[in-house]
């Protein structure tokens, strides 16, 4: 599904990613872990198409297409979804209206009929329950005045409605209490299917107790220095990043 080769990325002259290689197949869940400033979020943003980053080398193939040649919205319509680390507040933009417009933009792209208000309300009913979302949040402006946990839940709610092929979860666990973490993780798990994939970007092993990854990668200073299965995450938690870095160098 996704093949990243030798990806080099810089912003404002600073080299952030220094040769990333990663392959993600349909049905897989990958976790990318790493200390602050290692480039985890940059990778997620670059995949979503953020225009501030400069790709200095490498290529990304997504569903056999050149991902770097696509606009932000084209990537979204092709099934890439980024759950933001810091979801953006849109004052005055109604949450339901926003999501319906987004869904219809994607349906239009795929040549499907756009949904009217009634069909849309039917569609979101179950997903609201799945994420235990307050009805009132749907009537409010997007993310405005939402608590940290509500914002993250709203991201996963959007994911549930848009049904992406490749979901990028950027620090989705930060700001969530234990109960909310469980709700969000259950929501994500229920969306795992044979034909989609998830990349989870996180500092901590915590979320991975609930969403068990097939692969874990350790990203340090713009490079993946170690890859393994779920046990690597446990090892990281136990030893800390410094020891893993040293061991990798040795």
Q: Which residues of this chain interact with other proteins, rule CB under 8 A?
A: 48-51, 71-73, 75-77, 81-82, 84, 87-88, 90-93, 98-99, 101-103, 105-106, 109, 141, 158, 162
User: Which of 146/215 has CB closer to other proteins?
Assistant: 146
Closer by beta carbon to other proteins, 22 or else 76: 76
CB of 207 to other proteins, least distance (A): 21
Burial state string for 222-241 with b = 16 or more CB within 10 A and e = fewer than 16:
bbbbbeeebebbebbeeeeb
Shortest CB 90 distance to other proteins, Å: 5
Instruction: For the chain, report the end-to-end CA distance as a whole number of angstroms.
Output: 33
Nearest-approach distance from CB 7 to other proteins, in angstroms: 19
Element (H, E) at 179: helix 178-191
Question: Strand pairing of 141-142 and 223-228?
Answer: unpaired
* Pick 2 or 82: Cβ nearer other proteins: 82
Q: Comparing C-alpha atoms, which of 1, 44, 48, 31 is closest to residue 196?
A: 1
49 vs 222 by CB, closer to other proteins: 49
Q: Which residues contact 65 (CB under 8 A, 6 or more apart)?
A: 78
Rounded Cα gap, residues 194 and 108, in angstroms: 25
Q: Which of 119, 91, 213, 106 is nearest to 158 (CA)?
A: 106
Nearest to 199 by CA among 176, 160, 220, 171: 171
What minimum distance in Å lies between the beta carbon of 72 and other proteins? 4
Identity of the residue, 71 or 122, whose beta carbon is nearer to other proteins in the bound complex: 71
Compute the least distance from the CB of residue 76 to other proteins, in Å.
4
> Closest approach of Cβ 73 to other proteins, in Å?
5
Question: 180: closest CA among 200, 203, 214, 206?
Answer: 206
Cβ closer to other proteins: 158 or 205?
158
């Amino acid at each position: 599904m996704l093949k990243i080769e030798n990806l080099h990325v810089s912003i404002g002259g600073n080299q952030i990613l220094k040769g990333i290689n990663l392959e993600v197949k349909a049905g897989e869940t990958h976790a990318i872990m790493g200390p602050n400033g290692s480039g985890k979020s940059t990778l997620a943003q670059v995949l979503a198409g953020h225009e501030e980053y400069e790709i200095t080398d490498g290529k990304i193939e997504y569903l056999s297409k050149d991902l770097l040649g696509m606009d932000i919205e084209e990537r979204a319509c092709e099934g890439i979804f980024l759950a933001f680390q810091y979801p953006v507040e849109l004052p005055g933009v109604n949450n339901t209206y926003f999501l319906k417009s987004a869904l219809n933009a994607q349906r239009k792209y795929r040549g499907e009929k756009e949904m009217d208000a009634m069909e849309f309300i039917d569609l979101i009913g179950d997903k609201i329950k799945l994420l235990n979302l307050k009805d009132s949040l749907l009537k409010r402006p997007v993310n405005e005045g939402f608590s940290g946990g509500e914002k993250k839940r709203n991201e996963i709610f959007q994911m549930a409605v848009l049904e992406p092929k490749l979901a990028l979860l950027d620090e989705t666990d930060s700001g969530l209490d234990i109960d909310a973490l469980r709700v969000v993780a259950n929501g994500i798990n229920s969306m795992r299917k044979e034909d989609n994939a998830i990349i989870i970007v996180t500092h901590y092993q915590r979320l991975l107790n609930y969403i068990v990854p097939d692969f874990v990668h350790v990203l340090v200073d713009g490079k993946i220095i170690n890859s393994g299965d779920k046990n690597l995450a446990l090892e990281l938690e136990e030893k800390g990043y410094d020891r893993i870095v040293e061991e990798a160098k040795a």
